[in-house]
Amino acid sequence: MNRKLLLISFAAMLVALPFVSNEYYVNLGSQVLIAVVFASSLNLLVGYAGLTSLGHAAYLGLSAYLAGLLSLKLGLGHVSTAVLSLLITTVIGGAFGWIALRASGLSFLMLTLALSQVVWGLGYRWTSVTGGDNGLSGITRPAPFGISLEQSDAYYWFVLLIALAAAYIIARLVHSPFGASIRGTKDQARRMNSLGYNVWLIQWTTFVVASFFAAVAGLLYVYFHQYVHPSVLSITASAEVLLSVIAGGAGTLLGPAIGSFLVVMLKNYASGYIERWSMLLGIVFVFIVLVMPHGIGPGLQGMWNRFAKEKT
């Protein structure tokens, strides 16, 4: 499969969306792109570093809440709230990573879950600050260079630019020497240690970078909805993004995009017909694992390669 042709076709569809569809699908496209940024951030941990986290929603939620609180409670402008939200969330991500990386495997997963549940509990119980179950509303969208993002098309272009920039940075990172060292800690941690690499520091740095991009997704999320609720911090949100990464193909650049598209479409369409749509998501996930154990992206690539081989 010609990857360059595939990427060009994918980019053309993203650009064409506002011109060929109505407002509903444009908003749906924005949600998919936000989910792609979020899943790509987790993919750095799960796919490249081999660190399965079940608490990644904490960083998206923290960033969203901080943006809302700094704007509504302190009256700060969008630039200040964005910078502070990203900075504070990344620092907290670094602190959580310092704690979680003292363990590995299942213990690491449980620590990330426990830390995220602390944040989720604060979101629900600290009602004087977070609004509790009522959440925070009245958050406005920024207007970069005086351009209003209130219209769905304008906000879609804004999200698309941020998503492409994030994808480019992540791609450069994973194909850099540092990206090779990240993969090395996943495959041969002991050998990396014997070669003089600081495996813990590499993993912690990856954790911090993943937290930063999750915070970027959090800003895009809160600006899109103009509202934030504690459910965004829940284990369900963390499980959904983890399923997106695994279903699409962990350790690949396009995998999180494929998985995010699948999850968002199921969430928006299946939930209209099935009350417990997450059950359907689970069935789809089991089917993917059985048929394409490495994810949809690698699975389709393998099928194409076999087809091309038989044709020649």
Q: Is the pLDDT of residue 2 over 60?
A: no
Inside any domain, residue 200: yes
Burial class for 155, CB neighbours closer than 10 Å (0-12, 13-18, 19+): buried
- Dist CA 288 CA 282 (whole Å): 10
Inside any domain, residue 26: yes
Tokens describing residue 232: 């965004």
Tokens 């050998």, located at residue: 191
Inside any domain, residue 76: yes
The pLDDT tens digits for 244-266 are 999 999 999 888 999 999 999 88
Which amino acid is residue 82, in one-letter code? A
The pLDDT tens digits for 208-244 are 999 999 999 999 999 999 999 999 999 989 999 999 9
- Dist CA 171 CA 194 (whole Å): 28
Which amino acid is residue 303, in one-letter code? M
Query: Helix (H, G, I), strand (E, B), or coil: what is residue 137?
Result: strand
Q: Rounded to the nearest 5 degrees, what angle is found at the Cα of 298, between the Cα atoms of 293 and 302?
A: 100
Report the sign of the C-alpha dihedral through residues 182, 183, 186, 190, in that order: negative
Inside any domain, residue 312: no
Inside any domain, residue 151: yes
Inside any domain, residue 183: yes
Query: What b-and-e string marks burial along 7-46, b requiring 16 or more CB atoms within 10 Å of the CB?
Result: eeeeeeebeebbeeeeeeebbbbbbbbbbbbbbbbbbbbb
Which amino acid is residue 208, in one-letter code? V
Residue 49: domain span = 21-233
Number of structural domains in the chain? 1
pLDDT for 81: 95
| Higher-confidence position of 241 and 270 | 241
- Dist CA 41 CA 152 (whole Å): 25
Inside any domain, residue 63: yes
Tokens describing residue 177: 């020497």
Q: Is the pLDDT of residue 189 over 90?
A: no
